[in-house]
Amino acid sequence: MKKKILLILLIITASLFFTLEITGYYLGSRHDNGGQTAKENTVNQKKSSKLKKAKNISLEEKLRALSPKGLYIVIDTSGNRLYLKKGEQTMLEAVVSCGSGNVLNDPSGKKTWIFDTPMGEFSVKSKIVKPIWVKPDWAFYEEGEDIPQNPQDRMEEGMMGDYALSLGSGYFIHGTLYTRLLGRNVTHGCVRVGDKDLETVYKQTPIGTKVIIF
């Protein structure tokens, strides 16, 4: 009887051992396949990286193709920089002042002004030597003054520097009395430029020149 029990135990043990061997082999085989998959993943990652680089190069080429070929102006409103460019060449980089983003309401609450520099694609509409600033309504509200009845009372000389380039809708690239504020967002929407840089931009830029503001 004891011999019979021992024989049964031996058979069960052998069966378990065999089962474990089979399972181990199966798991080992899966592990090996997993290693091969990891290699494949590495290859796929490299391929993906190459594809991304190719797409970036393609995008850069498209952007270059969209860039104007001749002379144009680029204005970075957040960085307060103006770039005079010819193709991909930067001819001038100037520190400027762009719109403050401040909001002003008239006393009646009927009008609101937001002092941002407009973004988009524009062109130089006209060029003016010794421009005279025609003060808009908001300038009087801002100073707590009444709106004048006589148009001549709106005229103010010297505020816009020696030169101005009109972008339309009352926006200009012009000079400033407040050169210490260049590099800061402090204007009512126009782009203020220092005297020397403004003279270069004025002389180099013909009417119709493209102006890109972002």
The three-state DSSP-derived secondary structure of 49-112 is HHHHHHHHHHHHHHHHHHCCCCEEEEEECCCCEEEEEECCEEEEEEEEECECCCEEECCCCCCE
Residue 54's pLDDT is what? 63
Residue 178's pLDDT is what? 95
Half-sphere exposure of 132 (CA within 13 A, CB side): 8
| Positions in the chain short of pLDDT 70 | 1-66
For residue 66, the tally of other CB atoms under 10 A from its CB is: 7
Residue 153's pLDDT is what? 96
Cβ–Cβ under 8 Å, residues 75 and 214: yes
Can you give the residue ranges of every domain in the chain? 1-66, 71-213
Residue 43's pLDDT is what? 44
Residue 185's pLDDT is what? 99
Residue 93's pLDDT is what? 99
Residue 68's pLDDT is what? 78
Residue 39's pLDDT is what? 46
Residues facing 36 on adjacent strands: none
Cβ–Cβ under 8 Å, residues 52 and 39: no
For residue 9, the tally of other CB atoms under 10 A from its CB is: 10
Residue 32's pLDDT is what? 36
The top-level CATH class assigned to 71-213 is mainly beta
Cβ–Cβ under 8 Å, residues 131 and 174: yes
191-193 and 171-174 as β-strands: parallel, antiparallel, unpaired? parallel
Residue 109's pLDDT is what? 87
Residue 22's pLDDT is what? 36
